[in-house]
Chain A
Amino acid sequence: MQAYLKLDHIDKVFTRGNATTEVLKDINLTIEKGEYASIIGHSGCGKSTLLNIVAGLTGATNGGVLLENREVNSPGPDRAVVFQNHSLLPWLTVYENVKLGVDKVFARTKSRAERDAWVMHNLSLVQMAHARDKRPGEISGGMKQRVGIARALAMEPKVLLLDEPFGALDALTRAHLQDSVMALHQKLGNTILMITHDVDEAVLLSDRIVMMTNGPSARIGEVLEVPLARPRKRLELATNAGYLKCRQRVLEFLYERHSFVEAA
């Protein structure tokens, strides 16, 4: 397998006046096509910064991101992002929010009717077709995040970037949405890079878990393969030895070797 997405020697230094903070140091990571990779770490370790660098929203100080052997350094629909707080435009309906991206990406390749059908297809994928004319203010948090996922999927990204996509949701909704994302990944075979701070979520969803050390100068501490067969069932995994072992490994990494140091 060749590297589909490659993070090549990425450093990130923030400079404010005379003070410089090195956030990320020498991040190397390759992700294969169709793989579901998660990045986990304590808050403030720079994992969101890393995702923003992959998305092109923030520039890397050194190093770069290669997607299919081509360097990418500006944002684009080939690396669609599902933002933590959904980031739907409140003045547009659910349908229009998804259509915003579709109209740009498929302006030349799809006719108006095809684009309309494509928007509705993606809304149905996340079971939100019924709310097409609602505004974000009129639907629940979980539904907003579904629409956010539909918006990202509808751009047919090469890599789907999830920035703590379930962080702002209650536990039940979160579980429900995790199952949806798993089903979508199974069905569409997307390459997914997800940021999370939830150990169970990482183990349940990922093929590989990238564990980051604490910042400043955060590095990749360890990469853990999750050798669990798909499709995975939440309830069955709860007693699965392989699942528990992976979970144990991540917990040890996060709470023993790199326990969170509270910034005073």
Chain B
Amino acid sequence: MSMPAMKTEMPAVVTPPAATAAPVVTMTPKRAPRAAAYARMAKETAARVVPPLIVVALLLVVWELICRRAGSSLPPPSKVFKDTRELILDPFFDHGGIDKGLFWHLSASLQRVAYGFSLAAVAGIALGTLVGQSVWAMRGLDPLFQVLRTIPPLAWLPLSLAAFRDGQPSAIFVIFITSVWPIIINTAVGIRNIPQDYRNVAAVVQLNPLEFFTKIMIPAAAPYMFTGLRIGIGLSWLAIVAAEMLIGGVGIGFFIWDAWNSSHISEIILALFYVGIIGFVLDRLIAGLGKVVTRGTAAN
């Protein structure tokens, strides 16, 4: 009788098992000590965090080695850090005009993305629902969507500048027009894929169209919608930097362009770093939101 469960018991309570023990194995829930649980968590985190850190460190070393010699066209990481120390340490300064800290540039860009993307989300889900629900809407609109969605974001900019005669709404429009297509297309696919079973349930219960929309369509298509929203937010962030380079003013895109014009290559590299991080965070944000909202939908 050397059951492994016995071994974890404290020595004080070891009782000799009865000779005629019934063949019932009681599974005592093992409560791992808290320290062990933390240690395991730390180990798991380390397993995920350490490999990318090593890769980044290696890349930095290689970059440093390549760019360290005199006459190199790009600065090595050590120089980037030295040049941009002020920008990194004080992102909140505001000397008027466009001479602002990185925080203000990024927040201006994020604001434009927020406006444009929100509009795209509303319009995209509405149009996607229409196209997914109605065969005639799909026949009429789908070819149009397929052509329009291939137009590069920046190609819309001159047209929107002509229409709005102002940089701000033009940038928002470019965000909108870039991110709306994946939202429309994915929503439409989601609506079209609603199982007939759910439609039957709705029919038997006699949900009216509005109730059908809110209680069946939106939850059932939510995973698809969030796929579209996630692609959309990525594209918005791609488009805003390019659009801001052209429209000027405050914004991370213009900051990069301005740095290029002033030959501050280190600042460009720092800005790229921030752009990448924020794009990543935006993507995770939408993915996380989708996870919360669609909780249970996938588990069928």
Contacts and interface: CB of A to CB of B under 8 A. Distances in A.
Contacts of B66: none
A83 B200 CA distance: 9
Secondary structure dominating the interface of B: helix
B73 interface: no
Contacts, number: 68
Contact of A55 (B204, B207, B220, B222): B204
Centre residue among A105, A135, A138 by max chain B CB count within 10 A: A135
A104 B205 contact: yes
Given A83-B200, A87-B200, A91-B219, A101 B205 contact: yes
Interface stretch (A74-82, A120-128, A184-192): A74-82
Given A89-B216, A100-B215, A80 B204 contact: yes
Interface in A122-171: 135-138, 155
Contacts of B299: 90, 135-138
A87 B197 contact: yes
Interface residues of B, number: 23
B296 A135 contact: yes
Contact of A87 (B201, B222, B295, B298): B201
Contact of A75 (B197, B206, B219, B296): B206
Contact of B204 (A75, A135, A136, A138): A75
A56 B199 CA distance: 13
A175 interface: no
Contact of A90 (B204, B206, B207, B297): B297
A156 B200 CA distance: 18
A223 B203 CA distance: 31
| Contact size range, A | 20 to 34
Nearest to A103: B205
Contacts of A56: 203
Given A89-B201, A89-B216, A77 B206 contact: yes
Contacts of B295: 91
B206 A104 contact: yes
Contacts of A117: none
Given A87-B197, A89-B216, A81 B300 contact: no
Contacts of A57: 200, 203-204
Contact of B296 (A80, A83, A85, A90): A90
Interface in A14-70: 55-57
Contact of B198 (A87, A104, A155): A87
Contacts of A77: 204-206
A77 B222 CA distance: 27
A104 B207 CA distance: 7
A91 B297 contact: yes
A95 B207 CA distance: 18
Contacts of B198: 87, 89
Contacts of B203: 56-57, 74-75
B204 A76 contact: yes
29 contacts: A55-B204, A57-B200, A57-B203, A74-B203, A75-B200, A75-B206, A76-B204, A76-B206, A79-B204, A80-B204, A81-B200, A83-B201, A87-B195, A87-B200, A87-B201, A89-B198, A89-B220, A91-B220, A91-B222, A100-B205, A104-B205, A105-B205, A136-B299, A136-B300, A137-B296, A137-B300, A138-B299, A155-B204, A155-B205
Interface of B: 195, 197-198, 200-201, 203-207, 211, 215-216, 219-220, 222, 294-300
